[in-house]
Amino acid sequence: MAVPASVTIPAGSTSVAFSATTIPVLAATNVTIQAAYGSQTPATASATVDPPAILVCSFVPDTVPGGAQTTLYVFLTGATAPGATLNVTCNSTRLTVGTTLTCVAGMPVQFFTLPTIAGAPTTVQLTLTTNGSSSTSILTLTP
């Protein structure tokens, strides 16, 4: 967490507001901020920086002929840290996707181009999970 090295409290005031900027994390991370005035005992505040959660995932387009590609869009609550992954559960082998998807660092919106395999019409259900959150999207494959 980045905070100013010092802040100025205006004369006659007992406090001042300042901004604290977080960086993306892979797991919940506790941070502590200390502030002191002169020789007084420092005041301490603690906070937890949480990794982003999944808001929603969606295939675009959500209906494609088998053998075509589709794009999976994933909207997160914040930017991702380097090495962030999404766990994948899929009910069909007709969607070519592994058990994890690796996110692009620093981005709150992720997208993945995924190939499909031709065959009979089917409905594919894909669920993503990360950091206690999940979202499911449906893809329809046509002949």
Q: What one-character-per-residue DSSP string does 105-142 give?
A: TT-SEEEEEEEB---S-EEEEEEEEETTEEEEEEEEEE
Query: What pTM value is reported for the model?
Result: 0.86
Of the candidates 73, 118, 68, 110, the one whose C-alpha atom is nearest the C-alpha of residue 93 is: 118
Of the candidates 62, 71, 64, 78, the one whose C-alpha atom is nearest the C-alpha of residue 26 is: 78
At 15 the pLDDT is 87
Distance CA 124, CA 62 (A): 10
At 36 the pLDDT is 87
CATH 2.60.40.10 segments of the chain: 54-142
Three-class SS of residue 16? coil
Looking at 2.60.40.10, 2.60.40.420, 3.40.50.300, 3.30.70.20, the CATH number of the domain 54-142 comes to: 2.60.40.10
103 — pLDDT class (breaks 50, 70, 90): very high
- Residue 139 tokens read as 């893809």
14 — pLDDT class (breaks 50, 70, 90): confident
Of the candidates 77, 72, 50, 80, the one whose C-alpha atom is nearest the C-alpha of residue 128 is: 72
